[in-house]
Amino acid sequence: MPYPTFLHRTLNMLLLLPLSAAAGEALQLAPLQIRADIPEHPVVSDETLLQRGDTLGAVLDGEPGIVNQSFGPGVGRPVVRGQSGARVQILENGLGIGDLSALSPDHAVAGEPLLAESIEILRGPATLRYASGALGGVVEITNRRIPDHLPPRPLNLEAAYRFESPTDAHTGAAAIDAALGPLVVRLEGLRRHSGDLRTGRGILAHTGADRRFAGAGLSWIGSRGFAGIAIDRLENRYGVPTAEEEPLAIDLAQTRYDFRTAWHTPFPGAQRLELSFGHRDYRHVEIEDGHRGTRWTRRSDTGRLELFHRSIGGWSGSLGFQARHADTAALGAEAIVPRTETDAFAGFVAERWTRGAFTAEGSLRLERQRIDTESRRPRQDLLVSGAAAFDWRVDGRHHLRLNYLTTERAPQAEERYAFGVHAATQRFEIGDPNLSPERSHQLELSYRFQHRRLEAAVTLFHQWVQDYIFFRARGDLDADSGLPVFTAAQEDAVFRGFEAQIRIPLPAGERNDLDLILFGDLTRGRLRRGGDVPRMPPLRYGAELHLSRDGGELFLRATRAEAQDHPGRLEPPTPAYLRLDLGGEYRFSTLGGCWTVFAHATNLLDQTIRNSTSFLRTIAPEAGRGVETGIRMRF
Q: Is the pLDDT of residue 168 over 90?
A: yes
Q: Is the pLDDT of residue 12 over 80?
A: no
Q: Are 222 and 149 in contact (CB under 8 A)?
A: no
Vertex 106: Cα angle to 606 and 280 (nearest 5): 130
Residues linked to residue 83 through DSSP beta bridges, in sequence order: 80
- Determine what percent of the chain is predicted with pLDDT higher than 70: 93
Question: Residue 166 CB: number of other CB atoms within 10 A?
Answer: 23
pLDDT in tens, 392-410: 999 989 999 999 999 999 9
How far is Cα 30 from Cα 527, in angstroms, rounded to an integer? 46
CA distances from 50 to 108, 171, 511 (A): 19, 10, 26
Confidence of residue 4 (pLDDT cuts 50, 70, 90): very low
Q: Are 65 and 137 in contact (CB under 8 A)?
A: no
Radius of gyration of the chain (CA): 24
Q: Is 451 left (phi over 0), alpha (psi -120 to 50) or beta?
A: beta
Domain that holds residue 381: 3-634
- Quote the pLDDT of residue 46: 65
Instruction: Tell me which residue of 405, 409, 408, 268 sits closest to 350, measured CA to CA.
Output: 405
Kindly state the DSSP code that residue 50 receives in the 8-state scheme: T
- Long-range contacts, 477-482 (Cβ 8 Å, 24+): 478/421, 478/428, 481/421, 481/428
How far is Cα 201 from Cα 183, in angstroms, rounded to an integer? 54
pLDDT in tens, 169-182: 999 999 999 999 99
Confidence of residue 42 (pLDDT cuts 50, 70, 90): low
Residues linked to residue 203 through DSSP beta bridges, in sequence order: 198
Kindly state the DSSP code that residue 623 receives in the 8-state scheme: B
CA 385 from chain center: how many Å? 21
CA distances from 403 to 64, 335, 459 (A): 17, 41, 11
Residue 322's CATH number: 2.40.170.20
Q: Are 88 and 136 in contact (CB under 8 A)?
A: yes
How far is Cα 530 from Cα 244, in angstroms, rounded to an integer? 34
- Quote the pLDDT of residue 41: 55
- Tally of domains in the chain: 1
Measured in degrees and rounded to the nearest 5, phi and psi for residue 528 equal: -65, -40
Confidence of residue 49 (pLDDT cuts 50, 70, 90): confident
Confidence of residue 275 (pLDDT cuts 50, 70, 90): very high
> 3-class DSSP state for residue 609?
coil
Q: Are 154 and 191 in contact (CB under 8 A)?
A: no
Q: Are 479 and 434 in contact (CB under 8 A)?
A: no
Q: Is the pLDDT of residue 378 over 60?
A: yes
How far is Cα 391 from Cα 359, in angstroms, rounded to an integer? 5
Measured in degrees and rounded to the nearest 5, phi and psi for residue 388 equal: -145, 150
For every residue of 148-211, which 3-state class applies, written as one string? CCCCCCCEEEEEEEEEEHHHCEEEEEEEEEEEECCEEEEEEEEEEEECCEEECCEEECCCCEEE
Single-letter code of the amino acid located at 286: E
pLDDT in tens, 433-466: 999 999 999 999 999 999 989 999 999 999 999 9
pTM attached to this predicted model: 0.89
Instruction: Tell me which residue of 610, 614, 600 sits closest to 165, measured CA to CA.
Output: 600
Q: Is the pLDDT of residue 579 over 50?
A: yes
Measured in degrees and rounded to the nearest 5, phi and psi for residue 35 equal: -115, 135
